[in-house]
Amino acid sequence: MSKKVAIISTCAINTEEYKAFPREIEQIRSMMALERPTWDYHFFDIFNGEFPDIAVFDAFVYSGSPSSVNDNDAWLTGMFDYIRTVFAAEKPQVGLCFGHQAIAKALGGRVDYSPLGWSIGTVTTDYTDHTEWMTPALPTLRLFASHNEQVLQLPAGARLLAKTAECPHAAFSIDNRVFATQHHPEMEKAFVEHIVQIESASLTPAQIAKFTQSMVQPDDSKVFAGWIAQFIENASENAIK
């Protein structure tokens, strides 16, 4: 059965440096459409006050962002309220990187800078737990990362799914309502390489060398995209009563 999915941009900062690439919401749609091409996808800029009608959509996907969930911007307060409202409505929400952090913070978790600094490149992620919709239930995935903040404390009721050497809360779920990852299954290799070029001044030579080495390995983003699709389908079929 087709689903109506709201893909929500949290990128309040769009610079000329990224104009050669599709917007993050378009990257998410492309990722999802490879798995579920018949679904109905719609874009929203939440930082401009665009809030999808909760009653109309089957699922909500929040993008990554150069912003911090700990900024004092007014739009973030509205976003946190919206996340809590969708959660109370028992609709599935997916968070990618910043979206992962925003869901965690909105529901009572804590987000701050990583004590190890930037995590960027293709990162080995260990899945220590699997839900019924995470099939195939692979123990390890290699996914793109680009963050220097992370979830340091999960919200109440969260189920820890994954960790990396640098990120102890790399993915979590909350029953049929939340599936969130610190990583970027929507990104392409060339886009991640472009981010590093832009951020190179803030990276150490060791971090750049580690990034370069990591990008030799293939990523498993397609597997994670399948998990997202199955999460949304499972949530619709097993909505909490």
Q: Domains of the chain, with CATH numbers? A: 4-237 (3.40.50.880)
pTM for this predicted structure: 0.94
Q: What average pLDDT is seen over the chain?
A: 92
The pLDDT of residue 153 is 97
Catalytic one of 24, 149, 166, 186: 186
- List, for residues 95-110, the tens digit of each pLDDT value: 999 999 999 999 999 9
| Residues 56, 210: Cα–Cα separation, whole Å | 44
* Catalytic status, residue 184: yes
Radius of gyration of the chain (CA): 17
Length of the chain: 241
Separation CA 157–CA 159 (nearest Å): 7
Question: DSSP letter at 219?
Answer: P
Question: Of 11, 24, 97, 167, which is the active-site residue?
Answer: 97
Residue 78's identity, in one-letter code, is G
Asked if 211 and 200 touch (Cβ cutoff 8 Å), the reply is no
Q: Is the pLDDT of residue 239 over 70?
A: no
Q: Which of 167, 169, 184, 233 is catalytic?
A: 184
Verify whether residue 166 is a known catalytic residue.
no
